């Protein structure tokens, strides 16, 4: 067979089915390092902060960019649900994308190397995570049983058909569940909260763990938006990064809020959430003392929010993500609204998000 000249680039996996969403307040020089892995994908850049500032994007990338004026123009009064001066603004990119998958990354995250020194193609690993099944209903001690060189360990049930997990769809434990979220990790600066960053300013994460695992059903986790991919068609309506930043009493919990809501809904729908590979190199850009000031309320509120999400069971009548999400917003208003009036505003933001999602993503009847 004729050798392909080395100049011919391999076609990127699912290059027409995935958008890369980047929230930013700075020029995007970091893309130069990602060029081999990103340049075949369409980018959606959400410019936060001063809309009059020009964000420079290196040549050769296919992208669309939205600033605050664009968000206000496109969403009108619904723009109130999109954070300003907080990385949570990235969820606007999830709204306007038309692709099946989303990968979102911060602009201070760079290509990491695996222990062999090979550069990690984070997008490719996330896609592999998303297109292979999950095991939320029984923890596999060899982690991902669908990975080459691994399988289900002894005792893992074969034919348990538990229709309740998937609203009546036939389900066998050994076929696994649909994967809808792939949560990547970070070498260098780990995703610590402000108090931990202040107490351990020099701590870096140098531990490369070669594993991808499903987060068990009924277990919450701290979802970080720095290196995250998901099935937008399935779980997109639940990926609202909570209203934070300017004018709000909290910031830096946008992604975790989305993660708690998403996980409760995935457990209800019988879908899987994975965490682990791929790693990126996080060269932290935010200030830990600033973070403490901005994230202070969150440190207290999380102690009530997490038990709330752990207590949530969604009614079986909720069979779509939107229905689950609206039910969740009612529970947030009722149960967390007494913690602080902010949660009432956040619950309203969840409803506005759902309306915006419907408006931008549902083809009008008769079309």
DSSP string, 257-271: HHHHHHHHHHHHHT-
Question: Does residue 205 touch ligand LCYJ2WEX according to CB under 6 A?
Answer: no
Backbone angles phi, psi at 117, to 5 degrees: 95, 0
Question: Distance between CA 283 and CA 109 in Å, rounded?
Answer: 6
Question: By CB under 6 A, is residue 286 in contact with ligand LCYJ2WEX?
Answer: yes
- In whole angstroms, the minimum distance from the beta carbon of 88 to ligand LCYJ2WEX comes to 7
* Residue 86 touches Mn ion, criterion: CB under 5 A: no
283: contact with ligand LCYJ2WEX by CB under 6 A: no
Q: Which one of residues 48, 144, 193, 267 is an interface residue with ligand LCYJ2WEX (CB under 6 A)? A: 48
CA dihedral 276, 282, 287, 291 (to 10 degrees): -20
- Residue 68 CB, shortest distance to ligand LCYJ2WEX, in Å, is 11
Which of 45, 61, 86, 258 contacts ligand LCYJ2WEX by CB under 6 A? Answer: 86
Rg value, the chain, Cα: 20
In this structure, are residues 347 and 259 in contact, taking their beta carbons and an 8 Å threshold?
Answer: no
Supply 67's token pair: 């600033």
- By the 8 A CB rule, do 151 and 142 touch? yes
Residue pair 90/46 in contact by the 8 Å Cβ criterion: yes
Min CB(280)–Mn ion separation in Å: 10
26 binds ligand LCYJ2WEX (CB under 6 A): yes
Q: Assess 126 for contact with ligand LCYJ2WEX (CB under 6 A).
A: no
> Does the protein bind Mn ion through residue 255 (CB under 5 A)?
no
State which of residues 48, 86, 108, 254 lies at the interface with Mn ion (CB under 5 A). Answer: 108
* Residue 107 CB, nearest approach to Mn ion (Å): 8
Give long-range contacts, CB 8 A cutoff, 24+ apart: 359-365: 359/78, 360/74, 360/95, 360/96, 361/95, 361/236
Q: Is 221 exposed, middle or buried (0-12, 13-18, 19+ CB in 10 A)?
A: middle
- Beta carbon nearer to ligand LCYJ2WEX, 217 or 294: 294
| Binding of Mn ion by 144 (CB under 5 A) | no
Q: Is residue 129 near ligand LCYJ2WEX by the rule CB under 6 A?
A: no
Calpha distance 196→190 (Å, rounded)? 10
From 50-58, 278-286, 314-322, 355-363, give the range in contact with ligand LCYJ2WEX by CB under 6 A: 278-286
Residue 352 near which of ligand LCYJ2WEX, Mn ion, none (CB within 5-8 Å, type-dependent):
none
Asked if 236 and 230 touch (Cβ cutoff 8 Å), the reply is: yes
By the criterion CB under 6 A, which residues form the site for ligand LCYJ2WEX? 23-26, 48-49, 85-87, 89, 106-108, 191, 224-226, 252, 254-255, 284-286
By the criterion CB under 5 A, which residues form the site for Mn ion? 108, 284-285
């Amino acid at each position: 067979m004729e050798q392909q000249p080395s100049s011919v680039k391999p076609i990127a996996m699912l290059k027409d089915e995935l958008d890369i969403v980047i929230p930013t307040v700075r020029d995007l020089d970091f893309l130069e390092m990602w060029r081999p892995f990103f340049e075949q994908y369409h980018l959606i850049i959400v410019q936060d902060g001063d809309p009059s500032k020009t964000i420079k994007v290196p040549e050769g990338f296919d992208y669309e960019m939205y600033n605050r004026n664009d968000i206000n123009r496109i969403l009108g009064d619904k723009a109130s649900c999109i954070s300003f001066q907080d990385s949570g603004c990235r969820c606007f990119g999830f709204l306007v994308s038309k692709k099946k998958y989303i990968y979102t990354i911060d602009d201070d995250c760079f290509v990491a190397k695996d222990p062999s020194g090979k550069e990690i193609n984070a997008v490719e690993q996330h896609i592999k995570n998303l297109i292979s099944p999950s095991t939320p209903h029984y923890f596999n001690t060899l982690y991902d049983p669908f990975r080459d060189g691994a399988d289900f360990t002894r005792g893992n049930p074969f034919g348990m058909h538990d229709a309740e997990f998937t609203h009546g769809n036939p389900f066998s434990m050994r076929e696994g569940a649909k994967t809808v979220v792939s949560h990547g990790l970070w070498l260098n600066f780990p995703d610590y909260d402000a108090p931990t960053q202040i107490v351990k300013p020099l701590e870096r994460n140098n531990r490369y763990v070669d594993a991808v695992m499903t987060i068990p059903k009924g277990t919450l986790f701290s979802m970080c938006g720095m290196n995250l991919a998901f099935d937008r068609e399935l779980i997109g309506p639940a990926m609202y990064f909570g209203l934070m930043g300017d004018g709000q009493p909290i910031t830096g919990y946008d992604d975790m809020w989305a993660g708690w809501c998403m996980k409760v809904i995935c457990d209800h729908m019988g879908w899987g959430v994975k965490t682990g590979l791929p790693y990126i190199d996080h060269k932290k850009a935010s200030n830990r003392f600033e973070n403490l000031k901005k994230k202070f309320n969150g440190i207290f509120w999380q102690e009530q929010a997490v038990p709330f999400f752990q207590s949530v069971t969604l009614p079986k009548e909720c069979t779509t993500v939107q229905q689950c999400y609206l039910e969740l917003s009612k529970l947030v208003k009722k149960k967390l609204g007494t913690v602080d009036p902010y949660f009432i505003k956040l619950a309203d933001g969840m409803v506005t998000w759902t309306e915006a999602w419907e408006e931008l993503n549902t083809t009008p009847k008769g079309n």
